[in-house]
Amino acid sequence: MSQRTCLSVILAAGEGTRMKSAVAKVLHPIAGLPMVAHVIKAAEAAGSGDLALVIGHGADEMRKATQKFALKAELFVQDKRLGTAHAVLAARDAISKGYDDILVMFGDTPLIDPEVLVAARLKLAEGAAVVVVGFRTSNPSGYGRLIEKGGKLIAIREEKDCTDEEKKITFCNGGLMAIAGKHALQLLDQVGNNNAKGEYYLTDIVEIAGGQGLDVVAAEAGFENVLGINNRAELAEAEGIWQTRRRREAMLSGVTLIAPETVFFSYDTEIGADTIVEPNVWFGPGVTIATGAKIHAFSHIEGATIASNCDVGPYARLRPGSDLRQKAKVGNFCEVKQAVIEEGAKVNHLTYIGDARVGAGANIGAGTITCNYDGYSKFFTDIGEGAFVGSNSSLVAPVTIGKGGYVASGSVITESVPDDGLAFGRARQRTLPGKGKELRERFASAAARKKG
Ligand code: UD1
Ligand code: MG
């Protein structure tokens, strides 16, 4: 298979009006990645080296967005939405370069399993000219029906063009097709628009190919693979299916999820064996977790690297650039951003560490804040190895706490503390013996005078 060349044509010229969105439908994310990028990833995983993305509405937006996830994709604009065959032909220049296999996919069908694409390509390799990916459903309404005769696929009939008898067929067109490259253009060029919708239907190439004596076959796949998204309810349904698949994969690879249905992964979350994830944890994009970590309940983690045996949460927020080295601890109600927490360091309670380094073994007391921002620029706080920062301290960046340095509780530190130094950044305490009692009596008699 690997020696066969393959182009994937991904159709995304639909307007997606039912999303009720200013954002193009296929750019709505599933697991943090635009749905069309999921399609592209599947195409690539199935060995499709080249990609053609057919867009219509919002071409500029799409061009900008695809820079992030589909640098290799060539964009084609379908000016008028005249049907799926017309859309595929918008990519004529790419198709005519000559490929063994052409895969046609929809940009709004993000759960396609690469295995299904591989299976379709295999059928091309075995000599089929057209492979249609079909699925069975008890509710076929709205889908094109696969018309078979003597075990052979002879046509696809769109719902609007079906007879009452044909409407009863439950084997439907999932929309995905694999076409032998050497036949693709001549088949597509013969498609007309003499049908109920007056559109150029891609599905018509089945009958055209059959008429030429070419081999046309159906490949069956599970419904999830061809689940198309038209509105936000379907978007959530697809997200749910994606998450269920991913949770299972994580558990089977050695990750403990105590309540899997409450843990949400991103498309790129990497998580090592023997990590335990407690209930209600959210992983945004860019998270890598090594082995044996504990992620306690209600933590929100994105753009973070967590080394082995770290302890995070409960209720921790790790923002992009958080880098926790082995056995580091970030405890409850702590926020970390763009900071390295070195080996064995502890940031345990109600603390904000941003734009900083916390040296190995350092201990950050409850309520410590790195004051990293003056309203215009961000500044760095460097906390040395083994330093101890007393509770409720503000470290006003740029500032350095030296190795083994001590900061007294409640300090506002504006000047750097040398290695092994001790800094008090607060007013000295005054204690007046007996003064408390005197004050209480004075206030009590004042109140009595007012009443009387
Ligand atoms: C299509 C199939 C139908 C199948 C169903 C599966 C055809 C004629 N029909 O119907 O057999 O059961 O998908 O979901 O292919 N698009 C363009 N330009 C166009 C028209 C469509 O880019 O001019 C894109 C859409 O954005 C969408 C895809 O092609 O991603 C499918 O179009 P859609 O209108 O949803 O086709 P269906 O009527 O659902
Ligand atoms: Mg559709």
Region 289-296 average pLDDT:
98
Top pLDDT among 63 and 249 is at 249
pLDDT digit string, tens, across residues 42-88: 999 999 989 999 999 778 888 888 888 887 899 999 999 999 999 99
pLDDT band of residue 197 (cuts 50, 70, 90) is very high
Catalytic residue among 57, 183, 300, 349: 349
Using CA atoms, how far residue 215 sits from 126, 158, 205, 451, in Å, is: 10, 21, 12, 103
Q: Which of 231 and 151 is assigned the larger pLDDT? A: 231
pLDDT over 90 at 3, yes or no: no
- Is 435 labelled as part of a ligand binding site? no
Query: Cβ contacts of residue 97 below 8 Å, gap of 6+?
Result: 7, 50
Buried b / exposed e over 239-265, threshold 16 CB at 10 Å, is bebbbeebbeebeeeebebeebebbbb
- Please give the pLDDT value at position 15: 82
Atom 37 of ligand 1, nearest CA residue: 143
Say if residue 197 carries a ligand binding annotation: no
| pLDDT above 90: percentage of residues in the chain | 94
Helix intervals (H) in 258-362: none
Report which ligand 1 atom has the smallest distance to the Cα of 14. 26
Q: Is 212 annotated as a binding residue?
A: no
Backbone angles phi, psi at 295, to 5 degrees: -110, 110
pLDDT for the residue 152: 87
Residues with CB under 6 A from ligand 1: 11-14, 54, 78, 81-84, 86-87, 106-108, 143-144, 156, 158, 172-175, 201-203, 228
Mean pLDDT for the stretch of residues 322-345: 98
SS3 (DSSP) at 63: helix
Per-residue pLDDT tens over the stretch 364-414: 999 999 999 999 999 999 999 999 999 999 999 999 999 999 999 999 999
User: Kind and range of the H or E element at 448?
Assistant: helix 435-451
In the residue annotation, 183 being an active-site residue is answered as no
Mean pLDDT of 200-204: 97
Task: Give this prediction's pTM.
Answer: 0.93
* Residue 13 labeled ligand binder: yes
**Which ligand is nearest to the Cα of residue 84, counting in written order?**
1
Give the position, in ligand 1's atom list, of the atom nearest the Cα of 230. Answer: 35
Q: Evaluate if residue 136 carries a pLDDT over 60.
A: yes
Closest to 384 in 3D by CA, of 411, 409, 427, 416 = 416
Distance 37 CA to ligand 2 centre (A): 18
**Tokens matching residue 35:** 């749905």
Write the single-letter amino acid at 47.
G
With a cut of 90, say whether residue 151 has pLDDT above it: no
Q: What is the pLDDT of residues 303-317, one digit of tens each?
A: 999 999 999 999 999
Compute, in angstroms, the gap from residue 175 CA to the centroid of ligand 1.
7
What is the torsion angle, in degrees rounded to the nearest 10, for the CA atoms of residue 253, residue 259, residue 262 and residue 267? 0
Ligand 1 pocket test target in 25, 84, 229 with most atoms within 8 Å of CB: 84
- The answer to whether 352 is a known ligand-binding residue is yes
Q: Which amino acid is at 401?
A: I
DSSP string, 312-340: E-SS-EE-TTEEE-TT-EE-TT-EEEEEE
Q: What is the pLDDT of residues 98-120, one digit of tens each?
A: 999 999 999 999 999 999 999 99
Q: Enumerate domains of the chain plus CATH numbers.
A: 6-226 (3.90.550.10), 232-423 (2.160.10.10)
Ligand nearest to the CA of 171: 1
Mean pLDDT of the chain: 96
Report residue 2's pLDDT band, with 50, 70 and 90 as the boundaries: low
Q: What is the mean pLDDT of residues 324-347?
A: 98
Of the listed ligands, the closest to the CA of 106 is: 1
Question: Using CA positions, which residue lies closest to atom 2 of ligand 1?
Answer: 175
Query: Is 248 a known ligand-binding residue?
Result: no
Average pLDDT over residues 26-35: 96
For ligand 1, the distance from its centroid to the CA atom of residue 85, given in whole angstroms, is 9
- How far apart (Å, rounded) are the C-alpha atoms in residues 154 and 346? 68
Protein residues within 5 Å, CB atom, of ion ligand 2 = 228
Kindly state the helix (H) or strand (E) to which residue 41 belongs, with its residue range: helix 35-45
CA of 109 to the centre of ligand 2 (A): 9
Q: How far apart are the CA of 232 and the centre of ligand 1, in A?
A: 18
Helix axes 35-45, 114-125, angle to 10 degrees: 40
Shortest-distance atom of ligand 1 to CA 144: 11
What is the number of the ligand 1 atom nearest to the C-alpha of 107? Answer: 30
Total number of residues shown for the chain:
452
- Ligand 1 atom with minimal separation from the 204 CA: 8
d(CA 389, CA 423): 10
Q: What is the CA angle 121-126-131, rounded to 5?
A: 45
Q: Give 122 Cα–ligand 2 centroid separation in angstroms.
A: 26
**Residue range 202-226: average pLDDT?**
97
Tell whether the model's pLDDT for residue 1 goes beyond 60. Answer: no
